[in-house]
Structure formats: structure tokens, C-alpha cells
Structure 1
Amino acid sequence: MGGRLAQWCIDRRRWVFAAILLMVAVLGAMIPQIRIDTDPENMLPDDQPARVLHENIEKQFTLHDRIVVGQVNAEDPQGVFNPESLADHYRLTRAIEEIDGVIERDLLSMAAVDNVEQAAPGTIDYDWLIPGPPETQQAADRIRAAVERLPMYSGTLASEDGTAAGILVPLESKDVSHRVANEIRAAAQRIGVEDELYITGQPVAQDTFGVQMFQQMGISAPLAGLVIFLVMLYFFRSVPLVLAPMLLAMATVISTMGLLIGTGFTVHIMSSMIPIFLMPIAVVASVHVLSSFADRYRPGGDARAVMAGVMEQLYKPVLFTALTTAVGFASLMFTPIPPVQVFGGFISFGVLIALILTLTFIPAYAGSLPRKTLDKMAQRVRQDQDAEHSSRLCAALEAGGQWAGRRRNWIVGTLVALSVVAVYGINQIQINDNPTRWFKAGHPIRVADQVLNERFAGTYEAYLRLRQTGIGEMGEQLRERAGAITAEAQEAGYAELGERWQRLWREHVDGDRPLGTRLESLAVAISDRLFTLSDPDRAAYWERLLDAVEQTRTETRAFQDPEKLAWIAGLERHLVENGHIGKATSLADLVKTINRELISGDAADYRLPDTPGGVAQALLSFQSSHRPHDLWRFVTPDYTAANVWMQLPSGDNQDMQRVVEAVDAYVAENPPPEGVELDWAGATYINLVWQGEMVEGMLLALLSAFVVVLVMMIGLFRSLALGLLAMAPLTVTIAFIYGVMGLVGKNYDMPVAVLSSLSIGLSVDFAIHFIQRTRSALAETGEWRSALVQVLREPACAITRNALVIAVGFLPLLAAPLVPYITVGTFLASIMALSAVITLLALPAIIAYRPGLFFAEVRRGAGQS
């Protein structure tokens, strides 16, 4: 079938070329519609519970993604607390507030917050901490003293050692962070800020990665293509012939990316790597075909007949290697991560496109080359061959394969030993990811991350929401208490009171607003009613109703309760003192600060009030500040939910997981007040969630793909023994690579997880070609050793050339500034090299034990000796 298809394509090559050009033109025309998405939140589906909760909490407390700007002066004895640095800080703050995309109202800086200071007992002055650029060192010292007295600012807006000032820049949208960061740098240069300026934070890391990711694609993909081209040119000695797989790869990449973009999918971090993944996959099969064609074609030969013979022999291996690769990536569609699903689905589509082009375009292209060109290629190839008609590479492979057969015990023993070591290494693998670590260590964002997290409490954020439950039951309890009061009134002759109460209830309490807000409206209505009453007995019943309403209002305002705030403060203290986080800020800290200034201003009064009324008084005082809206970052207006803002000096998933476990342990030993439930939110926590789901999903995908490929191998070779044999290079390659990864301490992250699927397709590729060609050779020779010698010549050369083309071709990725590209380059080269070595050494060694077990031809004849 392969031969007939090749001849048909050669005879109708113009139609083949026209169809391919049409496909590339139509799909490629969709690429300008590209939309980029670098938000890790979108690694989770829109309806994923943790993501929905995260978004609800952000909305509930008006939280925004923030860039962290750090101004560092380690030279001046006063650090940043000198007139020049504070003046620059003031001017830079004003400039940042003017940048489009920055939420000025919520920006945090020493030049944008209040100094909380007692004016007299019971009275607080809320003056700007830095009302203008200070002109003297004395003024700068006063600012420093004020910051050190305000725990909410120390470690957040100024480092404890005084060497750094921080500006937390809230953004309207994450996707403007790279632009905003550049405008902040430009503003600092325009102002003439002499201190070191560092900018970091998860939003800017993610957005900057997106920008540089596409810049890197424009460099790495063409560079890898150039190296692949040069390596193939070295092997095949013909520019026109080598152009074929390069054109095939370009057509595959353009068509796949065009379809992805044209169907409305955004280009995520994962899908941006599709060209890098597809290039080796698209080239692999065509190199096998061209390698066999180059070895068989003789000057003056019939290219049509030679190509037909090659395709007849390679049709099945090419088909099944493509299908196994497609299955490996299609398995990613069953993961719970949408961008990974898109990545897997479109890679599978690209693999099938490459398969179709290999079976049609390559024969048509080879058949269209002038005979003079093919003859020159054949002459050059012949010139590189020795007297035995075998190149030095092929001679070395033949000798190596025969040596492996003779040293089968040593080869298999080494594989077993390596497998044992690999299993140990796999058990050492740590699951961890952090968008900031997607950059090399010397990248400005990585440097800023290190510098600022050494000085501040942390540039990574997580939020813990405490929510009072049972609010609805409180409303029902009020209804019951009021019912008893109105029943008494009716017995006393005030029947209309009950009807009027029910009307007020319907008007003010029924509805979807928070119960506290509804009860406040009801209390006002009752007060208005009392103002019009002249009958003291009737008024007494209304006063009892008002007392019942006010009591329930107090009960619903859970986080004005000192007991609940004390529990929050205890949790914060536990997390900070045990080193789980850098700092925590909550309503409890705000209340303690205000309470201190209301009473005496002394450290001894930095504590929570004893009564809800005292808490309410402190919060009422804060409403006179320049930023009263900051209160709602920590508590909802009805005081039924509170937010603890945690700053972490590390965004690694492992560190976030330790914080979650520390909170769980504290809650187990110190249960929260009755009716209080805890929920997590924040970008650092969401990264932890999607990483966990990715690991589980990838493991399931890997195992399911492994089983499917095994079944396909058994079906292809119609032999359980050969099916298991074909899986040997795949199994050992995956185990060894992941074992080494665990031994050297490489974290299991997003690129590594996705590369698992690539290893399935590419690792089994060589085994399929080796076994299929061995069966064909054995059918011709009828003797095992002769068949092995034949396979170790041309087919083994093709396998080795293929491995070298891809392994060497993707080494340029190691010079990329983005770690995921380095990971891809390392893994691709390792997968190709290791699976080729195992195929060419391990398979002959294993088969040599009992050839008859694997090949029926050996059982029917002699040749097993």
C-alpha cells in the first residue's frame, strides 16, 4: 500500500503541492488573529471550585494583582531614609499613580498612606506619612520613626533595616504588567532616581515571560531549524533533498498554529511551545524515509521506483510511530488543565498532518527532483562509503550491535542496575513550580525577586478568608424572638403591632442583601417608628423589638468580636514566629494599632479592645483617615467575613504547601471560634492548586497512554512478546530521565510534566523501526544473525541519523534565557539520544537470549544458535 501511494503522489505531485499550499495559505492566514494568555490562573477551568472561590474572595475584598517596586539604598548610613531617597520615593509614587492601568486609589507606598498618631487621648491625627519631599535629615528621621511604630507598614512598605522602600502597584489587569513595569523604569529614569530600582511580582513575571516567550520563539525555532538543516545536509549531501523535511516541518507548524488560533483558542505558555515540539516530530519520519532513499538510490536510477520501494517497507513503521506519538499527546486531553488539553489536542493534530505529509509530500518532492540533482547526491553519498559499502557510522553501529548480542548479560545487567537507580531517583523528585523561576538566575526579574524578598516580608501573596456561618439561622432566631414579642403585644391589645412588624420585615429584611445590612435598615425603620409614638406602652414593645434587632446585628457582625480577632492574631503570630511566612496583616493588626493611639500611644496598649464596642470605636475612628476604604481589604462591610493577607518570601509550591499544612495543624490544635470557616485564595495558592491537579492529570495521562501504546504495539506486531519488547526503550528512557532528574534535584514542573507525553511517542519510534525492519530482514534471510547484520546497516544508520539530527538540532535551546525552553531542549536531546542507544544496544541483547521467542521465522528454521 505504501508503494502504491508513493507512486500515485509522484504521478500527481502538482496536485499534492497545490493542496498543501492551499492548506498552509488558508490556515496560516489565521495566525495574525493571535491572542496571548500567560495567566497561570487559566491553567484551571473557569468552574474549578478553588478558582471560583479565589475570584469570589478577590471580588469580596476588592483585591488586585500587584507589581512590587523596590527602591534600595545600601550605601547611605540611613538607607532610604535620607532626604534625597525619600524625595525620589515621593516623586516616583506620584508618577506611578499617573500610569494607565494602575489603580491609583489602592496603591500602597510610604508616600500614599497615613501616619496614625495620637493627637490627644481619644483622638487620632491621620496625616500623610510623607506629605511632600522631605528637605532635612530630621524630617527623614521622623518618617522612619513613624514607620517603625506602624507594624502594618514595617516589612511591607519599608524594610526593617531601612535599606529599601516598597511600592505595591495594583493593576486593572494582569496583562498590562509588563508595560507598566517598563513605564515605571522610564519614570524612575526621568525623575533621576539614583537608588537601585527592582521590579518583581507574579503578574510582571507572567506577563514578561509571555513577551519574551514569543521573542524566544522567533529565535529558538528558526535556530533549531537551521541546525537540523545543517546536520541533515552533512548526512545527505544534498540541499534540495534536505529542504523536503524542512518544508514539511514548516507546513506542519503553520497549519497547526493557524488552526489553533483560527478556532479561537488563546496562545498560552503551553501552546507557545507547539512549534518547538512539532519540529522534531515532523522531521523524524521524513528523515527515516530520506535516509533509506539516499542509501538505496544509485546514479541513473529510477527515483519513482526507489521511493516506492522505500515507502512500501517503511509505511507501517511510519504510520505506527505517528499514531503512538499522537496517542501520547492526545492523552493530555484527559487532564483537568485546559491549556494542557489544547496543547495535547493540537500537537496530536500536528502529528497527523506530519504523517500525511510524510506519506504524500516527501515522495512527491523526491520524485520531482531532477535526475542530475539525485545523481549528484548519490555520488556524494557513495564517496563517503568504505569498500564494504558501509559508512564509518554504519560500520560502528554494526559492530556495536553484534557486540551487544555477544555481551547480552552485561548489557541487560547494566539496564537492570540503571533501572534500580532510576526508581530511587524517581522517588526523590519534588513537585514544584514558580513563575519567577521560569527565568534564568541572572534575569532582572529573578534578581529583583531575590533582592526584595531578602529585605521585605515577601513579594508573594496568599489570602486566608474567615467566614462566619449560620447567618441565616440568626435571622430565623430573630423572627422567633420578634414573634414572641408581637404575640405579647397582641394579648395586651396592640394587634396592629404584629401586622406593622410583618410589613417592616418584608420591606427591609426579605431579599438577597447581607443580613447585617438588612437589619440595619430595619433598625432605622423601627427608630423612625418610635419617634412618632406617644403611647409609652406601645413604644415599649417596639423598643424590645429594636433591642432584639440590635442584638442580632451584633451577633452577625462576627469580626467585631474581640475573641475572633484574638484567634486571628494568634494564628498570625504562630505562622510568623515559626518561619512559615514573612508577615501577616489582618483586621486584628489594624484594630490594635488604632486602639493604641486612642488610649495612650504606648506599646503596652497595642492590643485588642475588650469589647465589641471598643472594636467598633477603633474602626469608626479609622473612617476619618485618608484611606478609609482600606478597611474593606480586611473585612466585609457587614463584618461577616475577614481576610488575612499573608506575605511569603517564596512563591514555590512547596513553601505554599507548608503554609497550608501549618494552618491546618494550628486549626487542629486551636479550633477557631464556633461557626467560623476558613478558605484560601491568592495567586500563590492557585499555583499550588493547578500544579497538584496537573501532576495527577499528567500521571493518569502518562499511564493511560502507556497502556494504549502497548496495545498498539501488540496489534502492530501481532505478538505479545514483540509488543513488550518495543516498550523496553520507552520504559527505560522515561525511568532513567526522570530518575536522573530526581537525583540532580530538578523539580517536576509544567514543562517536565508535558514532556512525559513526548517521550512516549519518540522513545517507541526507534523500536518500531528496528523491530519491523528485523522482521523484514528475517523473512529474507531466514537466519537471525544475518538478519541482525542487515538491520544494523541501513536501518540502524537511519535511526542514528534521526537521533543525531533532533538531539543536536535542539541543543541551541540550552542557550535560551527562559528555563522552560532549556528544559525542552535538554529533554528532547536526552530522549532522542537515550532511546536510540537503548534501541540499538538493548534490543539486540534481549533478542539474543531467545530469538525464537520474538520471531516465528526463527522457530520455523535454524538460526537460533
Structure 2
Amino acid sequence: MGKQLANWCMNHTRLVFTSVLVMVLALGMMIPKIIIDTDPENMLSAEQPDRVKHNEIRDRFGLHDMIVVGQVNTQHEHGVFNPESLAAHYELTRAIEGMEGVIARDLMSMAAVDNVEQAGVGTIAYDWLIPSPPQTQQEADRIRAAVERLPMYQGTLVSEDGQAASLFVPLESKDISYRISMEIQAVVDELGVADEFHITGQPVAQDTFGVEMFLQMAISAPLAGLVIFLSMLYFFRSLPLVVAPMLLAMATVISTMGLLIGMGYTVHIMSSMIPIFLMPIAVVASVHVLSNFADRYRPGDDPKEVMGDVMDKLFKPVLFTALTTAVGFLSLLTTPIPPVQVFGGFISFGVLIALILTLGFIPAYTVSLKRETLDKMAEKFRLKEEASQEANKNGSLLVKMGRFPTRKPGIVIGLVVAVLAVSVYGINQIQINDNPTLWFKEDHRIRVADKVLNERFAGTYEAYINLEQTGIDRQIDQLRRNIQLTLDEAEAEGLELRSTWASLWDESAGAASPGDRLETLAMLIDDHMFEAGFDEQDYWEEILDQVEAGRSATRAFQNPGHLAWMDELKEHLESTGVIGKANSLADLVKTINRELVSGEMEDYQLPERANGVAQTILSFQSSQRPDDLWNFVTRDFTQASIWLQLPSGDNQVMSQVVEEVDRFVASNPPPEGVELDWGGGTYINLVWQGEMVEGMLWALGSAFIVVLIMMVALFRSVLLGVLAMLPLTITIAAIYGVMGLVGKDYDMPVAVLSSLSLGLSVDFAIHFIQRLRMALEDVGGDWKAAIDQVFDEPARAISRNAVVIAIGFLPLLAAPLVPYITVGVFLASIMATSALVSLFALPAFIALAPRAVLGKAVKS
């Protein structure tokens, strides 16, 4: 099959080249339509329950993605509370408010929030904290004294030591974060103060990664390709020949990315790595073909005949290595993470494109070269081979190395067992963790800002606890039953109120929530009482009292008991140190209550009754920013939000927060009917990371079984099928074991690399075993002689492949983005480890029972 296909392609070179060119041009034209997406939230499907709840919480409380800007002054004795620093803070606030895409009304900074202070007993003055830039140190001291009286600002807008201030900049959408951050930086550069300014936050980290990812994608893949090209040039000593696999790789990458973009998919962090992943996959099979061709071709040979023989021998290995790699990536379609599904599907498409080009384009290209070019290459190879034979008179280095595992299989197998044992220990040390900010190197401005600001403030990462009072519909049903009794009493007195009541009830149906409906209903009843007859007044007053009582009952988060429970939860979380700070309606109510009563800290507490809470809330409506209230509670007071500030975006930290909340709730149940949900970007990262780990384990396990079945079918032997999986098993175990031992977290890039491990690690084993079976026939069943033959040309092809790819992706270590560094290290490790295991562990296991493994072809 392989020879016939190669001959057809070699006889129709123009058609092959034209077809490839048309495919590349047609799909490549789609690439300019690229849309970058680095939002981790999109790692979950739009219908995923936690994501749906997260978005509901954001909409319900008017929450937005925020950039955090930090201002630090460690030189001045008063920190940022000096006239120059506060003037710069004021100017920066005003500039940010005017930026397109910033939600100015929700901007949080000392120059945009209220100063809450008593103006007299029972009276509060709500003035801007910094109404204008201070001119003297005395004015700056007044501002500091005011801030220190407002606990909600401490650790959030101002550091505890007074050396830093922050601005929380809410955005209309997170995909403008990078632009806004650059505009903020431009303003900072013009301020003319000695203070340090830092810009961070999850949205800007994600959007900045998108910008730099795009640049890195354009640099890393070509750079890796260049190094691979130079490595192949060193091995094959023929520029025209090594151009073939590079053209194949370029065609594969362009076609795959073009199809992805043309079909309307965004380029996520996952799909941005498709070119990096496809490069070795596309090149690896063609290197085997060209290596075999270069070793066989001699001046005067017919290139078509030589290439036909090569493709005849390599057709099965090339086909099955491609199919196993495709299966490895297709398994990602079973994960619940959409970007991972897209990544797996299109990598699989690229693998099949590379397979077709290897079987068709490579033979056509090779025979289209001038005979003189091929003869020169063959002559260089002959001279190199003679030099190698002279240097290794007793056999080549590879052959000598290949004899060791067959003579000392116990040592090799013992070493494998030891590696697996250590790997198992290392795997048990792996910690699952991800944090978009850690996608940058430590010296990146985003990482530096993150470190500085999270050391000085309560935290730049957010999560939200949503509390909801349930059972309201039951309360309203009970209310309506009670009112029916009142209507029955009126009817017994000869008064017909039912039709009017039904009309008022229907008129209130347009309210946004049950609580709002009762409020609307109360107003309608109150208005109707001006028209009702004198003898009806008592009944309508009783109905109004019942509605008002029902309305109060549904306004759960005006209840001091509910607010006290929220405050206890906050104090518990802060005392455990898992969060930096929490803010809720309880903090706002305590602050207002203090100023209404005495202005002294002893009155910084919750009112004893619901009407006291209502009074504080009514007072706050006179502030400069009354709508801030609705960030903490819904307008019908049936739901409330607790804003958690975390000093780290690590999933492990968020997981600890969830565990602490669960522990508190278990020992301190919330008020009756109150249910708890989670939202916030840090929590969503935890959710998708958990789903990814579970999904990737399932994908890897299912793909492993499918590949095993394919190996058994390919070699028609259970033992050989299992043996072919050995390099894959050892490679994955060793690499993940080392990862655990060195403390590398299991994150998104690492998880996806397991699929690449599965595809590439089995490739070398397929080539080794298939060529060993062919060699066994050539040498009449002498398995040792067959292994010596495999350690000649086939082993050279394997080692060349491993070296070319491993070296080719080392330039990724210089990338500024950690995921690219991870890919570079893992690709090099996968290639090196799987090659070593294939060349040394397989012969050792075969040597234990050659006839049992290789079958009757072995002559005893």
C-alpha cells in the first residue's frame, strides 16, 4: 500500500504540489481573521452551572472585572499621605474616570469615595474623602485620620502602614483590560511624582497574556522551526532535502490554524499552542522517511525505486504512529473544557494532514530534486559512514549500546523499576494549581505588581459569597391565605373586597422579585384606601398590615440576626488567614450606625432591630455614592453578597477558602432558609481547573486503552502490544514524577501535554518493534542479530528524531511566558525519555523471553 501510494505521488508531482499549495493558500487566507481569547472563564461552557451562577451574581449585584492600580511611597515619612502623593492620586483618579470603557460611577479610590462622619447626633455628613488635592500636610493628615476611621477602606484602598494606596478600576468588559492598563500607565508616566505605581489584577493579567501570547506564537514556532531545520541540516548535510519536512510542517500549521480561525473559533491559550505542538508531530514522521532514504540511496540509484522501498517498509509505522497520536488528542474531546476540546480536535486534524503529506508530499518532493543533488547527498553520507566505520571498527556506537540491554537485561529492568518507584513517589507529591498571573515570569511587570500589591493590601483577587433567602414563595402563599381569611370576614359583613384585591394583586405582578411585588402591593393598597368606603377601611388596614409584615419577613438581610451571621463568617475567615479581608452589608451598617449614635468605636456594631438597620440604610441613601449599597444586597433585601479579597489567585488558596466556609457553616448553620453560593473569577478558576483535571485523567485513561488495542491489532500480538506501551508508560510516569519532585504544579499546559506524551512516546516503540520484526525475517530468526540490525539505520532515525525535536524546542526556554517554557521543557523531555526507553528498555524486556515476545519467527 505504501509503495503504490508513493509511486502514484512520485508520478504526479505537479498535481501533488498544486494540491498542497491550494490547500495552504485557501486555509491560510483565514488567519488574518484571528480573534484572541484568554478569558479563563471560557474554559467552562456557557451552560456550566457554576459559571451561570457566577454571571447571575455579577449581574445581580452590579459587579465588574477590575484592574487594580497600586501607588507606593516608602520614602516619605507619611507614606502616600503627603500633598504631592495625594494630588497625584486625585489626578490619576480623574483621568481614569474619563477613560472609555471604565465604569466611572463604580471606581474605587480615596478620591472617589465618601468620608462618613457625624455632623451631629443622629446626623451624618457624606462628603468626598478627597474633594480636591490637598495643599498642606495638615490637610493630608486630615485625610489619613478620616481613612483610619473607616474599616472598609483599610487594607482595600489604603495599606495598614499608610505607605500605599490603591484604585479598583471597574471595566465594561475584560477584553479592554490591556488597553486601559496602557492608558493608565501613560497617565502615570506624566504625573511627575517619585511614587511607584503598579498595575495588576486578573483581567489585565489575562488580557496582557493574550497580547504577548500572540507575539510569542509568531516568534516561538518559527524559532523552533529554525533550530529544527539547522539540526536536520547537520544530520542530512543537504539543504534541498531538509527543506521538505520544514515545508510539510509549515503547510500543516498554516492549514490547521487557518481552518480553526475560518470556522469561527477564537484562539485561546490552548489553541495558541497548536503550532508548537504540531511542529514536532509534523516533522517526526518525515525525518524517519528521509533518514531511511538517505541511508539507502547511493549515487546512480533510481530515487523512485529507493523511495518506494522506504515507503513500503515505513507505511505501517508511519500510519499507526499518526493514528495513535490522533487518538491521544481526540481523547480531549471527552473533557468538559471547550478550549481543550477545540485544541484536541484541531491537533488531530493537523496530525492527519501531516500524515497525508508525509505519505504523499515527501516522496514527490524528494524525487523532484535534481539527480546531482541527491548524488551529492549520498556521497556525503558515504563519506560520513566510512568515517564512522573507521572510528568504530568493532561496530557502531549505537550497535554497542544496543547490545548492553540484551546482555544485561536485569540491570536495565532493575533501573526501570527503580525509576517507576521514584516516579510513583513524585507523582504523589504533585499539587494541582493554576493562576493566570503565574503565566508570566517572575520579573514581568504583572508578576512584580502582583507581589508588591498583595504584600501591602488585603488582596487583588476576588471571590464572592452569595447568600439567598429561600422559601419566599411559601411565605407569600401563606400571606395570601391569611388575607383570604380577612376577605372572608369582610364578606360575612356584606363587603365585597375580593375583586379589588385580585385587581391589585394582578397589578403588582410586574415587579422584579417577590419582595418588590409586596412593596408595590403595599403602595397600591395605600393608594386605594383613599378611595375605599369608610366601612372598608378597617379591613384594608388589616390587609395592608399583613402585606407590610410579609414584606418585612421577606427582607431577610435587613434582619440583624442575618447580618450578625455574615459578620461572624467574615471574622472567622479573616482570623484563619485564608483571606486578606471581607466586606459586606454588615460592615456598611456598622459604620453608619456608629456615626448615627455617637461616632465612637464602641458603637461600631449592628443595631438590635430591623428598623435600626433600615435607618442606617436610609441614611446611606444620602451619600455621594448611594448605589454602592446594591453591590452588597439586592433591592428587595432577599440576597446579599460578601466580597472576599484574596492575596493569591492560586487554586489551592481558593480551595482552602471554600473548605473554611464549609467548616464554619457545618458548626454555625446560617439563618433558616438561607442558602450559600459562590462567584468571582478566582472561584471560577478553581472550578474549571477541577473539571480539567478530572476530564484529562479520563481522556488519558481512555486514550491509553484505545492505543493499547491499536498496538495489539498492529502487531497481532498481545505481548508486543503491551510492550509497545512500555515507553509511553515509563515516559509519562518519569516526567510527572520529576515534576512532583521539583515542585512543579499541575496546571493547564502540563495537563494537556499528557496527550502529547501519549502520541509521541509510542511512536518510537512502533518503529522499533516493526523494524525488529522485519529484521528478524532478514536474518533468519536470529533475534540478537536482528536487534543489531535495528540498532543500525532504524536506531539512527529514532535518535536523530529525538535529538532534532528535543533541541528544536529548547529555544522556548527563553520565552517570557511560562506556559511556553513548560511546553519546551516537556517536549524535549518527552522526546529524550521515550527514545531512551524505546532503545534500551524494549531490548531488555525482549531478551527475557524473545520467543514468547516475538513469536515463532525466533529460531532457538
Fold conserved (TM > 0.5)? yes
Give me the whole-angstrom Cα distance separating, in 1, the residues matched to 2:765 and 2:505: 78
8 Å CA contact retained: 1:851, 1:858: no
Give me the whole-angstrom Cα distance separating, in 1, the residues matched to 2:497 and 2:30: 71
Equivalent position of 2:24 in the other structure = 24
Deviation at 1:538, TM superposition (A): 2.1
- Percent identity, aligned pairs only? 68
Deviations 1:746-774, CA, capped at 9 Å, x for gaps: 00000000000000010000000000000
8 Å CA contact retained: 1:385, 1:392: no
Give me the whole-angstrom Cα distance separating, in 2, the residues matched to 1:529 and 1:772: 92
Give me the whole-angstrom Cα distance separating, in 2, the residues matched to 1:529 and 1:172: 43
Q: 1:739 aligns with which of 727, 730, 737?
A: 737
Equivalent position of 2:307 in the other structure = 307
Pairing of 1:293-304 with structure 2 (within 5 A): 293-304=293-304
**Residue identity opposite 1:456 in structure 2:** F
Equivalent position of 2:212 in the other structure = 212
Equivalent position of 1:680 in the other structure = 678
**Residue identity opposite 2:79 in structure 1:** G
Deviation at 1:530, TM superposition (A): 2.1
Quickly say closer, same or farther: Cα 1:392–1:456, change in 2 above 3 A.
Answer: farther
Deviation at 1:500, TM superposition (A): 1.6
Give me the whole-angstrom Cα distance separating, in 1, the residues matched to 2:188 and 2:510: 51
Q: Does 1:778 align with 2:776?
A: yes
Equivalent position of 1:769 in the other structure = 767
Deviations 1:524-577, CA, capped at 9 Å, x for gaps: 121122233462x42111110110000000001000000000000000000001
- Secondary structure of the equivalent of 1:464? strand
Give me the whole-angstrom Cα distance separating, in 1, the residues matched to 2:499 and 2:404: 101
Quickly say closer, same or farther: Cα 1:310–1:505, change in 2 above 3 A.
Answer: same
**Residue identity opposite 2:751 in structure 1:** A
Equivalent position of 1:256 in the other structure = 256
Pairing of 1:505-516 with structure 2 (within 5 A): 505-508=505-508, 510-511=509-510, 513-516=512-515
Equivalent position of 1:403 in the other structure = 404
Give me the whole-angstrom Cα distance separating, in 1, the residues matched to 2:459 and 2:133: 27
- Secondary structure of the equivalent of 2:345? helix
- Secondary structure of the equivalent of 1:384? helix
Equivalent position of 1:167 in the other structure = 167
Pairing of 1:384-423 with structure 2 (within 5 A): 384-386=384-386, 389=389, 395-423=396-424
Equivalent position of 1:439 in the other structure = 440
**Residue identity opposite 1:341 in structure 2:** Q
Q: 1:588 aligns with which of 586, 589, 604?
A: 586
Deviation at 1:830, TM superposition (A): 0.1
Give me the whole-angstrom Cα distance separating, in 2, the residues matched to 1:413 and 1:718: 28
TM-score of the aligned structures, taking structure 2 as reference length: 0.99
Deviations 1:184-241, CA, capped at 9 Å, x for gaps: 0001112324210100000000000010011111111111111000000000000000
**Residue identity opposite 2:279 in structure 1:** M
Equivalent position of 1:350 in the other structure = 350
Give me the whole-angstrom Cα distance separating, in 2, the residues matched to 1:412 and 1:460: 49
Deviation at 1:475, TM superposition (A): 1.1
Equivalent position of 1:272 in the other structure = 272
Deviation at 1:391, TM superposition (A): 8.1
Equivalent position of 1:669 in the other structure = 667
Pairing of 1:484-563 with structure 2 (within 5 A): 484-494=485-495, 496-508=496-508, 510-511=509-510, 513-533=512-532, 535=534, 537-563=535-561
- Secondary structure of the equivalent of 2:221? helix
Equivalent position of 1:646 in the other structure = 644
**Residue identity opposite 1:616 in structure 2:** A
**Residue identity opposite 2:698 in structure 1:** L
- Secondary structure of the equivalent of 2:265? coil
Give me the whole-angstrom Cα distance separating, in 1, the residues matched to 2:819 and 2:590: 46
Give me the whole-angstrom Cα distance separating, in 2, the residues matched to 1:315 and 1:352: 14
Equivalent position of 1:751 in the other structure = 749
Equivalent position of 1:800 in the other structure = 799
Equivalent position of 1:830 in the other structure = 829
Give me the whole-angstrom Cα distance separating, in 1, the residues matched to 2:457 and 2:445: 18
Equivalent position of 1:75 in the other structure = 75
8 Å CA contact retained: 1:584, 1:647: yes
Q: Does 1:116 align with 2:120?
A: no
Give me the whole-angstrom Cα distance separating, in 1, the residues matched to 2:368 and 2:390: 28
Give me the whole-angstrom Cα distance separating, in 1, the residues matched to 2:493 and 2:435: 70
- Secondary structure of the equivalent of 1:732? helix
Equivalent position of 1:620 in the other structure = 618
Equivalent position of 1:244 in the other structure = 244
Give me the whole-angstrom Cα distance separating, in 1, the residues matched to 2:2 and 2:231: 27
**Residue identity opposite 2:273 in structure 1:** M
- Secondary structure of the equivalent of 1:677? strand
Give me the whole-angstrom Cα distance separating, in 2, the residues matched to 1:759 and 1:534: 84
Q: Which runs of 4+ in 1 moved over 3 A?
A: 386-394
Quickly say closer, same or farther: Cα 1:469–1:842, change in 2 above 3 A.
Answer: same
Equivalent position of 1:53 in the other structure = 53
Equivalent position of 1:458 in the other structure = 459
8 Å CA contact retained: 1:156, 1:166: yes
- Secondary structure of the equivalent of 1:531? coil
**Residue identity opposite 1:426 in structure 2:** I
**Residue identity opposite 2:41 in structure 1:** E
Give me the whole-angstrom Cα distance separating, in 2, the residues matched to 1:441 and 1:143: 35
Equivalent position of 1:566 in the other structure = 564
Give me the whole-angstrom Cα distance separating, in 2, the residues matched to 1:306 and 1:192: 73
Equivalent position of 1:709 in the other structure = 707
Deviations 1:289-340, CA, capped at 9 Å, x for gaps: 0000011111121111110010000000000000000000000011000000
- Secondary structure of the equivalent of 2:640? strand
Give me the whole-angstrom Cα distance separating, in 2, the residues matched to 1:166 and 1:179: 19
Give me the whole-angstrom Cα distance separating, in 2, the residues matched to 1:390 and 1:660: 69
Give me the whole-angstrom Cα distance separating, in 2, the residues matched to 1:297 and 1:392: 22
8 Å CA contact retained: 2:777, 2:857: no
Q: Which moved further from structure 2: 389-398 or 156-165?
A: 389-398
User: 5+ unaligned residues in a row in structure 2: which ranges?
Assistant: none
**Over the residues paired in the alignment, what is the CA RMSD in angstroms?**
1.1
Equivalent position of 1:63 in the other structure = 63
Equivalent position of 2:846 in the other structure = 847
- Secondary structure of the equivalent of 1:46? coil
Equivalent position of 1:424 in the other structure = 425
**Residue identity opposite 2:449 in structure 1:** A
Q: Does 1:97 align with 2:81?
A: no
- Secondary structure of the equivalent of 1:191? coil
Deviation at 1:522, TM superposition (A): 1.3
**Residue identity opposite 2:216 in structure 1:** Q
TM-score of the aligned structures, taking structure 1 as reference length: 0.98
**Residue identity opposite 2:600 in structure 1:** D
Deviations 1:390-436, CA, capped at 9 Å, x for gaps: 88799221111101111110000010011011111111110000000
- Secondary structure of the equivalent of 1:78? coil
8 Å CA contact retained: 1:384, 1:391: no
Deviations 1:589-614, CA, capped at 9 Å, x for gaps: 00000000000000000000011100
Give me the whole-angstrom Cα distance separating, in 1, the residues matched to 2:374 and 2:691: 53
Give me the whole-angstrom Cα distance separating, in 2, the residues matched to 1:416 and 1:734: 14
Pairing of 1:104-183 with structure 2 (within 5 A): 104-183=104-183
Deviation at 1:100, TM superposition (A): 1.1
Deviations 1:673-718, CA, capped at 9 Å, x for gaps: 0000000000000000000000000000000000000000000000
Equivalent position of 2:336 in the other structure = 336
Deviations 1:437-482, CA, capped at 9 Å, x for gaps: 0001111000000000000000000000000001111111110111
8 Å CA contact retained: 1:331, 1:344: yes
Would you say how many aligned residue pairs link Structure 1 and Structure 2? 858
8 Å CA contact retained: 1:390, 1:793: no
Give me the whole-angstrom Cα distance separating, in 1, the residues matched to 2:566 and 2:215: 46
Give me the whole-angstrom Cα distance separating, in 2, the residues matched to 1:77 and 1:606: 30
Give me the whole-angstrom Cα distance separating, in 1, the residues matched to 2:404 and 2:500: 101
8 Å CA contact retained: 2:389, 2:396: no
